[in-house]
Amino acid sequence: MNHHADGPELSAYLDGALAPEPRARVELHMSSCGECRAELDSLRHMKLALSSAPRRTMPADLVFALERRFVSGARPWYAPLVKPMVWAPAGALAVAAIAVSLWLRSAATLEEIPLEPLLAAHARYSAEALVPEGNLVASNYSDQVSALSDAPDSDLQ
């Protein structure tokens, strides 16, 4: 093994939690590295000191406060409203409502265009288009139009 064993690997070795292959690799390295052996001894001493430390009981009010907060799941009434999964659909619905209202408003303005002047202008232009010009007589009007359509492009200009 060409590199030193790191802290988590040494801790797992000390606890017996390493798989056989990594365990053999650490043991092989320990046989030739005094620095890692010293760190393993230090880690072993620290674990023994911590395991022999006196244990204290947790105060009852702290136990109840932690239980109330984490175990029972008691949350304030507004807690579901804080989550983004509530606000995203609500925002999308609000945007859709605004878009529909703007569309309906624009559709209403299109209906407010006064049609009477437009219809009167259309009727006037249609009537003027039916009246032939001075050199056109109703009897030969279609003959002259067909003659113009058969003429080459230079005559039409």
Q: What is the pLDDT of residues 43-81, one digit of tens each?
A: 999 988 888 888 888 899 998 888 877 776 666 777 777
Six token digits for residue 131: 């009246």
Quote the crossing angle between the two packed helices 7-15 and 20-32, to the nearest 10°: 110
Sign of CA dihedral 4, 7, 13, 18: negative
What rounded mean pLDDT belongs to the chain?
78
Residue 98 is predicted with a pLDDT of 93
Angstrom distance (rounded) from CA 144 to CA 139: 10
One-character DSSP codes across 137-150: -TTTHHHHHHHHHH
Angstrom distance (rounded) from CA 31 to CA 9: 16
Higher pLDDT, 2 or 12: 12
